[in-house]
Amino acid sequence: MDTVFDVAIIGGGINGCGCAADAALRGLSVVLLEQDDLASKTSSSSTKLIHGGLRYLEQFEFGLVRKALNERQILLNVAPHIVRPQAFILPYEKHMRPSWLLRLGLFVYDHLSRNNKLPKSRSIHRKNSAWFNPLFDTFNQGALYYDAATDDSRLTLLNALQAKNHGASIRTTSRVTHIERVEGLWELTIASKAKTPYTIRAKSLINAAGPWVNTVANLANAKDMRQITLVKGSHIVIPKLYSGNHAYLLQHDDKRILFVIPYQNNTLIGTTEVNCAGTPETVSISDNEINYLLETVNHYFKHKVSKKEIIYTWSGLRPLLSDDSKEMQHMSRDYAYTVSKSGAPLITIYGGKITTYRQLSVEIIDALRFLFPQMGASTTQKTLLPGASFNQMTFQDYQSYAINQYPWLEPSLLNRYLEQYGTLMEHFLAPCTSIASLGRHFGGSLYQQEVDYLINEEWGTTAEDILFRRTKLGITHPEINQVALADYIEENIFIEVT
């Protein structure tokens, strides 16, 4: 109880971890408290796009789109191993938005951000492109444009690692149950799987609890709470629907749009948008949502997708700032935050996107300058995320280097390690010279060296943490022996008990 942290953060999603990284890089002492696993909630349930959001142009959200496009380029620069350019095909059909409107929208999208280095959009036609092959013959023209895709939970983890590497204390399975201002400081009570409940103190508090933001705001007795609407979005994963690495943007009759994206050698389809009646703890896809997704895809693709092809689903909640004058789908996706300076400062974060987490984190930590006047400016715009230091090489060069360095690794396994870890894979590959030296085999492409790394360095404490958030092997290799993995983790994890 002796330590007084500069900043305590509640919530280990992308926004909490982004704030932890920004603050730690500026030299502040940080503790981050996550009730479950890092990225276990909204930040592993997104569509996994780092994008400006083409459709927000229709709602005249130019500021949000410009900010997000700027961030897209920054994230492509600082994390090229997990943020990748993604080509999108936008098929055009007469009854949809007029083609001139789509062209205008794409022109604005191409030019809104000055630092954008992705190729510009262009019109395409069935006659001279294979992209239309999987689509019904009624779709003959459209546009090609670029955005970026990522692995949302790994992006979150990389921010937590960045924070840890700069001194932050990242505590998972640590639920904040009581919050009080005591003598100008915050006192938080934490219920943890590993320890009996304990208390920590901090000079400032950031509420980054996502869909639970107002539950935590209530605990903190916040006076400036804002009303939120929880909107559920669901996705399905089916076996690869078409060949190629491009994605599709489909327009539904109801004016909503839907993405069809290559995902882990399969195809990801999402998302829906439904008002959430239940509690944040119990979100899952409904039959209506499945039908909605299938109906839209089957309107475009020749291969008729059926329910039984679904391999995996996930749902997440967007905590949007309520706006009585707008329908749910028109409520802003931009973030907002309140800063309370009476007594120990409290910052409460509402909404946001994976794409804009970095800019949000800069603003949040800047807002604490009155408390930490010596603090430097944010450096996250130029600081590579862990795994992205390729020693003057580009990621492509590093991929070639790795092929020479680890000739005994199967190309598909090496590729998975590269795309998941970048140079972080060297942590667990350094002592290895053969497949046998990767240690115990749990099935699929999962070996002990990787599991040990994930337990020791990336806070993995359960089979689910490892199979679904740190890797996606739970989706791609369901044959992995989850019981054996869980037993192994149980035997090998170091739990600090007080």
Ligand X SMILES: Cc1cc2nc3c(=O)[nH]c(=O)nc-3n(C[C@H](O)[C@H](O)[C@H](O)COP(=O)(O)OP(=O)(O)OC[C@H]3O[C@@H](n4cnc5c(N)ncnc54)[C@H](O)[C@@H]3O)c2cc1C
C-beta separation of 118 from 83 below 8 A: no
C-beta separation of 205 from 10 below 8 A: yes
Q: How far is the CB of 31 from ligand X (least distance, A)?
A: 11
Residue 160 touches ligand X, criterion: CB under 6 A: no
One of 6, 8, 11, 217 touching ligand X (CB under 6 A): 11
Which residues are CB-contacts of 89 (< 8 A; sequence separation ≥ 6)? 124, 131, 132, 142, 143, 144, 246, 247, 248, 249
One of 26, 41, 164, 166 touching ligand X (CB under 6 A): 41
User: Taking CB positions, which residue lies at the least distance from ligand X?
Assistant: 13
Count of residues that bind ligand X according to CB under 6 A: 37
Residue 354 touches ligand X, criterion: CB under 6 A: yes
Q: Kindly state the tokens that stand for 118.
A: 């992705």
C-beta separation of 149 from 87 below 8 A: no
CB nearer to ligand X: pick between 105 and 210: 210
C-beta separation of 357 from 365 below 8 A: no
**Ramachandran sector of residue 11 (left: φ over 0; alpha: ψ -120 to 50; beta: rest):** left
CB nearer to ligand X: pick between 211 and 474: 211
Which residues are CB-contacts of 100 (< 8 A; sequence separation ≥ 6)? none
CB nearer to ligand X: pick between 320 and 425: 320
Piece in contact with ligand X (CB under 6 A), picked from 75-83, 295-303, 314-322, 470-478: 314-322
Residue 233 touches ligand X, criterion: CB under 6 A: yes
Residue 352 touches ligand X, criterion: CB under 6 A: yes
Piece in contact with ligand X (CB under 6 A), picked from 29-37, 107-115, 290-298, 429-437: 29-37
CA distances from 249 to 239, 258, 332, 413, 453 (A): 18, 6, 20, 30, 37
CA distances from 160 to 5, 13, 25, 256, 420 (A): 17, 9, 12, 34, 15
Piece in contact with ligand X (CB under 6 A), picked from 33-41, 93-101, 387-395, 415-423: 33-41
Q: How far is the CB of 128 from ligand X (least distance, A)?
A: 30
CB nearer to ligand X: pick between 115 and 389: 115
One of 35, 192, 214, 251 touching ligand X (CB under 6 A): 35
CB nearer to ligand X: pick between 233 and 386: 233
The contact mask relative to ligand X for 183-222 (x = CB under 6 A, - = no) is: -------------------------xxxxx---x------
CB nearer to ligand X: pick between 11 and 387: 11
d(CA 366, CA 375): 9
Residue 318 touches ligand X, criterion: CB under 6 A: yes
Residue 14 touches ligand X, criterion: CB under 6 A: yes
What single letter denotes the amino acid at residue 150? T
Piece in contact with ligand X (CB under 6 A), picked from 13-21, 57-65, 452-460, 469-477: 13-21
Q: How far is the CB of 345 from ligand X (least distance, A)?
A: 19
Piece in contact with ligand X (CB under 6 A), picked from 89-97, 99-107, 112-120, 351-359: 351-359
Q: Kindly state the tokens that stand for 59.
A: 């709602």
One of 164, 166, 203, 353 touching ligand X (CB under 6 A): 353
CB nearer to ligand X: pick between 210 and 474: 210
Q: How far is the CB of 418 from ligand X (least distance, A)?
A: 23
Question: Longest C-alpha distance within the chain, in Å?
Answer: 72
Q: Kindly state the tokens that stand for 408.
A: 């005994």
Q: How far is CA 456 from the centre of its chain?
A: 22
Q: How far is the CB of 445 from ligand X (least distance, A)?
A: 26
Q: How far is the CB of 155 from ligand X (least distance, A)?
A: 10
Q: How far is the CB of 283 from ligand X (least distance, A)?
A: 9
Residue 48 touches ligand X, criterion: CB under 6 A: yes
Footprint of ligand X on residues 162-181 (CB under 6 A)?
175-176
- CA angle centred on 321, ends 315 and 323, rounded to 5°: 115
Q: How far is the CB of 101 from ligand X (least distance, A)?
A: 23
Piece in contact with ligand X (CB under 6 A), picked from 98-106, 119-127, 348-356, 396-404: 348-356
One of 19, 25, 46, 205 touching ligand X (CB under 6 A): 46
CB nearer to ligand X: pick between 11 and 386: 11
What are the residues binding ligand X (CB under 6 A)?
Answer: 10-16, 33-36, 40-43, 45-49, 175-176, 208-212, 216, 233, 271, 316-318, 352-355
